[in-house]
Amino acid sequence: MNPIPFDQARFNRLRWTVFWILIGSYIMVFFHRVAPGVVAADLMQAFNTSGAALGSLAATYFYIYTALQIPSGVLADTLGPRISVTLGGLVAGVGSVLFGLAPDFATASWGRFLVGLGVSVIFVGLMKSNALWFPDRQYGRISGLTLLLGNLGSILAAGPLALLLAEVSWRQVFVGAGVISVLLALLTLIGVRNRPEDAGFPSLREQEGLPPHPPRDQHWLRDLREVLTNRAVWPGFWVNFGLTGCFFAFAGLWAIPLMRDLYGLDRADASLYATVTLLAFAIGAYKVGWISDRLGHRRPVIVVGTLLFCLAWLGMILLPWGPGWSGLLIFALLGLTAGGNVVVYAAAKEVLPARVAGMSVALVNTGLFLGAAILQPAFGWVLDLGWDGTLRDGVRVYAAADYQHGLWLCFGAALLALLATPLVRETHCRQN
């Protein structure tokens, strides 16, 4: 079929349509990631679990997500975002419904496993789509916008979810989330196209008067080997492991129990602090991506952002903060500085050819979820070590010293990220 005459307005409408449909599924990724923190007490009560067991249940999502990041990159680079995101949304929807209906801990774990399995492909598919529909000079800003909007799911899974739980049960919430995930999957199948050429448009390079990227000339296993053996990609893996991995381990599960146990806040009030840190993360991601594009640099932005993230953890551990403005400020600083991770994805995409953008982003994203998968139950394990046996309505209550040990664990992970930042290769915001 011959390409249709190029219509810039129609092209812009289509690429933003693709973007917004995929963003809908990405919002659900964040919702599924964070929601267990709001219903932590309900889960402990329903399944009679310890802190470590609750951490493992929530982290089941991260275990499978971590394991499937590289396969997700392969799917994004071969099948394309349309099919991979559609299948992922369907599986996640089924898993969420199963989790909501689970009669016991084992069934809930299987439901959480399916949710992680399904959503594992969505972010990489979306980032691959962005690489094909938006120019390199805008990639940092588009990546920041992607995380900003995706974090609406986190925000909905914090304060608004806490208010909703006054009217409906946690089980109804997860069944409803599953239905929404399935509907978004069907919308993806109908409305998304993998690349401009699939809709009859020239590629972005052709629109700029450049020759198109050569077609894939080797098996995807060779592409994967090229990504895995490139030393320039791996520093981003470790930055994401310690930076965003520990942020989501804390904000996604332990932030609300901390405010409940240490300051006696109820779920609605405690969730405000989780909402603030997640909102700050979303804003930080957008602004830092924009700043990186404007400066034309990646590495200095990553170094400074990670250093500030370490300082935010030290502030949470050492400063005399509490409920009110001081607590809101420290939670906001933690989220704002964690948002700097968005530039890591741009740097990873740019050190390798565009044909393997999905795999390079997936490798870096693996670090994030490996970090969360390890740190979320490890935080709970540290809490259990010092637990004095106190229960409230069948839920374990931990002391300030127990949470201090968990926060030092998070600082250690952040310090690991900081040590990796000087090794990130500067790309000057240009694709290899």
Structure tokens at 195: 């690349």
Structure tokens at 397: 């209550």
Establish how many alpha carbons lie within 13 A of residue 416's alpha carbon, considering only the half-sphere containing its beta carbon: 20
Nearest to 158 by CA among 318, 277, 295: 277
Return contacts of 291-296, CB within 8 angstroms, 24+ apart: 292/140, 292/343, 292/346, 292/429, 293/137, 293/138, 293/139, 293/140, 293/141, 293/429, 296/428, 296/429
Q: Distances from the Cα of 4 to the Cαs of 17, 134, 409, in angstroms?
A: 19, 20, 57
Q: Check residue 217 and give its pLDDT.
A: 60
**Planar angle of CA 254, 260, 261, nearest 5 degrees:** 90
Highest mean pLDDT of the ranges 50-54, 117-121, 178-182, 263-267 = 178-182
Can you tell me the distance from the alpha carbon of 386 to that of 397, in angstroms, rounded to the nearest whole number? 11
Q: pLDDT at residue 423 above 60?
A: yes
Q: pLDDT at residue 313 above 90?
A: yes
Domain ranges of the chain: 8-200+221-423
Q: Which residues pair with 395 in a beta bridge?
A: 392
Q: Distances from the Cα of 402 to the Cαs of 262, 387, 409, in angstroms?
A: 10, 7, 11
Q: Check residue 213 and give its pLDDT.
A: 60
SS3 201: coil
Nearest to 242 by CA among 341, 146, 150, 319: 341
Can you tell me the distance from the alpha carbon of 132 to that of 166, in angstroms, rounded to the nearest whole number? 43
Can you tell me the distance from the alpha carbon of 92 to that of 118, in angstroms, rounded to the nearest whole number? 4
Q: Is the dihedral of CA 225, 229, 230, 234 positive or negative?
A: positive
State mean pLDDT over 75-96: 92
SS3 132: helix
State mean pLDDT over 126-146: 83
**For 8-200+221-423, CATH number?**
1.20.1250.20
pLDDT tens, position by position, 377-407: 899 889 888 888 887 777 788 888 899 999 9
Can you tell me the distance from the alpha carbon of 142 to that of 134, in angstroms, rounded to the nearest whole number? 8
Can you tell me the distance from the alpha carbon of 119 to that of 38, in angstroms, rounded to the nearest whole number? 20
